């Protein structure tokens, strides 16, 4: 058996020799596979696998001043809607020869600052951040180290930061007007925790704006904030139902809260939408599978991840890029909404 010192280190030149190409072509195939003919790239991949070649990341980074890695910081890994964005981000980056490093902060600003610092210390070439509300030190670190970045899932009203996202306020206005047009006048909302989450705040603002336009408002006790969890939706619905005058329409800050609220209605024997109409945000796959199907707002989350990757790839290649991209949202009407009971019209 050979000792570790007797094993020959496989070099780039060995891969080039086996694949019958130049070392430069191998290097290009490993870092920019889109710039190499598919047949050549496949031959190089076979040679890499056959020889067990692994590039010396530290040496390559030192020579190129690039690590071919992108860091992404998201609120939580426990939400399928973010998974769609991350999957598209990973797929698009991989096709361009980049590796994705992922971190989450569970809606804790201090944790966000810490994991962002760790990614920058590891030498990521770029950063993807979710939302526009961040710990003050995050942007200071980015500016100090001149790390290309893009904000996602929201639009920066200050126009200072590159962003790709949705207008959450407009989305909330759209779903509220749908309920108003059905004849609802008694509204309530189970929102996400607004602190440190501008998306949750903007959805509440959109609901208030739409109601105000029709001379209505979220009355006392008609707005509750809960964590984005099924239990939060159930708890929020229980609290709203304690009021003397029950709401006929409950707008939820996302689909998870809405499905939890729906489960609580079922448990209490309240008919949805016969007695209470429910809506969500995000249009998760399960929103169409529950009974009744959930009226919600569809966000193109996969397209968002692909756009974010393309944005950073273009910047790192010195190519032109859009600093602000607003993606369209769509109201998806299903069975959880209907006109209010006759006595509430």
- Helix 168-181 and helix 198-212: axis angle, to 10°? 40
Half-sphere exposure of 99 (CA within 13 A, CB side): 12
Predicted confidence pLDDT, tens digits, the chain (345 residues):
444 444 567 788 888 999 999 988 988 887 778 788 989 988 988 888 888 776 655 445 444 467 889 999 998 887 777 888 999 999 999 999 999 999 998 888 889 999 999 998 888 999 999 999 888 889 989 988 899 999 999 898 888 999 999 999 999 999 999 999 999 999 999 999 998 888 999 999 999 999 999 999 998 899 999 999 999 999 999 999 998 889 999 999 999 999 999 999 999 999 999 999 999 999 999 999 999 999 999 999 999 999 999 999 999 999 988 899 999 999 999 999 999 998 776
Q: Tell whether 178 and 90 lie within a shared domain.
A: no
Alpha carbons 122 and 139: distance in angstroms, whole number = 17
Residue 248 and residue 190 share a domain: yes
Q: What is the dihedral of CA 110, 115, 121, 127, to 10 degrees?
A: -110
Give how many domains the chain has, as a whole number.
Answer: 3
Q: Are residues 340 and 210 in the same domain?
A: yes
Bridge pairing between strands 296-298 and 330-332: antiparallel
Structural domain contains residue 61:
no
**Cα separation, 182 vs 110, whole angstroms:** 43
43 is in which domain, residue-wise? 4-55
Same domain, 290 and 201: yes
**Smallest Cα–Cα separation from 210: which of 185, 191, 232?**
185
Number of other CB atoms surrounding residue 76 within 10 Å: 13
On whether both 174 and 292 belong to a single domain, the answer is yes
Q: Are residues 157 and 173 in the same domain?
A: no
Domain assignment present for residue 62? The answer is no
Asked if 340 and 195 sit in the same domain, the reply is: yes
Domain-embedded: residue 172: yes
Residue written as token pair 């072509």: 25
Instruction: Give this prediction's pTM.
Output: 0.79
């Amino acid at each position: 058996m050979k000792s570790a010192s007797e094993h020959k280190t496989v070099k780039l030149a060995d891969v080039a020799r086996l694949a019958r190409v130049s070392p430069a072509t191998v290097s290009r195939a490993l870092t920019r596979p889109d710039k190499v003919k598919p047949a050549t790239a496949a031959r190089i991949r076979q040679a890499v696998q056959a020889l067990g070649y692994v590039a010396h990341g530290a040496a390559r980074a030192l020579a190129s001043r690039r690590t071919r890695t992108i860091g992404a910081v998201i609120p939580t890994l426990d939400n399928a809607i973010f998974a769609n964005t991350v999957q598209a981000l990973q797929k698009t980056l991989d096709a361009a020869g980049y590796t994705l490093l992922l971190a989450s902060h569970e809606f804790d600003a201090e944790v966000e600052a810490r994991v962002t610092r760790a990614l920058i210390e590891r030498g990521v070439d770029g950063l993807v951040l979710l939302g526009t509300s961040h710990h003050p030190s995050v942007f200071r670190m980015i500016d100090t180290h001149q790390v290309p970045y893009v904000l996602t899932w929201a639009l920066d009203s200050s126009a200072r930061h590159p962003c790709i996202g949705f207008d959450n306020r407009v989305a909330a206005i759209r779903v509220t007007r749908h309920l108003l047009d059905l004849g609802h006048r008694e509204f309530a909302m189970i929102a996400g925790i607004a602190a440190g989450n501008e998306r949750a705040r903007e959805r509440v603002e959109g609901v208030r704006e739409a109601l105000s336009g029709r001379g209505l408002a979220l009355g006392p006790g008609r707005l509750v904030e809960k964590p984005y969890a099924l239990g939060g939706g159930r708890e929020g619905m229980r609290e709203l139902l304690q009021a003397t005058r029950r709401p006929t329409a409950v707008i939820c800050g996302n689909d998870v809260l809405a499905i939890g609220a729906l489960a609580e209605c079922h448990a209490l024997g309240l008919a949805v939408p016969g007695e209470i109409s429910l809506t969500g945000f995000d249009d998760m796959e399960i929103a169409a599978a529950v009974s009744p199907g959930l009226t919600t707002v569809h966000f193109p989350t996969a397209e968002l991840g692909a756009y974010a990757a393309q944005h950073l790839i273009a910047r790192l290649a010195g190519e032109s890029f859009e600093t602000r991209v607003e993606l369209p949202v769509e109201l998806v009407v299903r069975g959880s909404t209907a006109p209010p009971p006759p006595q509430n019209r």
